[in-house]
Amino acid sequence: MITLRHLTKRYGGHVAVDDVTTDVRPGLVTGFLGPNGAGKSTTMRMLLGLDRPTSGEALVNGVRYGQLRRPLREIGAVLDAGGAHPGRTARAHLRALAASHRIPAARVDEVIGLVGLETVADRRAGKFSLGMGQRLGIASALLGDPPVLVLDEPVNGLDPEGVRWVRDLARSLAAEGRTVLVSSHLMSEMALTADHLLVLGRGRLLADASLTSFVGSHPSLEDAYLALTSESVEYRSVPR
């Protein structure tokens, strides 16, 4: 589970994340929505120990990321599809990650097959398309078979078949009882993928509700989202 308690991040006079409190629960795909600059990336970076909160805390299964003894076995994340060294092959990149986290080498071939990179596994990552880079990032996130997954725009650069694959993967991982947090700008895809939604606006948590409750009487998720983000009043949390 992911736990955020009064999570706040300030840069000088700018508040990037403003007192966010929520739980991202296992067994669900939680969609993380908000306009550019809303604070989504900063929230995920604080969760992964890349940025230090000004106040509050972000926990993975009750522990701060920096205190995890074997982080890749606890949480897998895709924040940057270009994270692999461009001179390394996909297989070499995954083997290095596996060795550094004491993960059996056999797991490398498993995740390569899982994400569909078998035919390009020995190609240098710098030659990858954006879509192949996304698949490699997802393979890295899955390498430690973690109970928590954080995916930032995982369908970026994928063709329709790849988008469907990510959707099915996210839902299958949640069905196994894992915590799955997915950030996306594609409302139509979130409507097909997410069970629960978190919406940020200007650093504040505007909505924390099931997909059904959030959409309510609106014709679509996009209409509900636009109605919320165009208002100045805060959306009240709907009971889970």
pLDDT of residue 231: 63
Please report which confidence band the pLDDT of residue 206 belongs to, taking 50, 70 and 90 as the band edges. Answer: very high
The pLDDT tens digits for 42-85 are: 999 999 999 999 999 999 999 999 999 999 999 999 997 667 88
pLDDT of residue 35: 87
Q: How many CA atoms lie within 13 A of 197 on its CB side?
A: 31
Please answer whether residues 166 and 138 qualify as being in contact, where contact means their C-beta atoms are separated by less than 8 angstroms: yes
The pLDDT tens digits for 96-126 are: 999 999 999 999 999 999 999 999 999 999 9
pLDDT at 147 over 90: yes
Mean pLDDT of 139-150: 97
Least confident of 10-14, 106-110, 212-216, 231-235: 231-235
**Could you tell me what percent of the chain has a pLDDT over 90?**
80
pLDDT of residue 81: 66
pLDDT of residue 235: 43
DSSP 8-state assignment for residue 118: G
Please answer whether residues 117 and 90 qualify as being in contact, where contact means their C-beta atoms are separated by less than 8 angstroms: yes
Mean pLDDT of 210-231: 91
Q: Which residue has the higher pLDDT, 59 or 159?
A: 59
Q: Which residue has the higher pLDDT, 128 or 82?
A: 128
Integer Cα distance of 94 and 198 in angstroms: 31
What is the C-alpha R_g of the chain?
A: 18
pLDDT of residue 185: 84
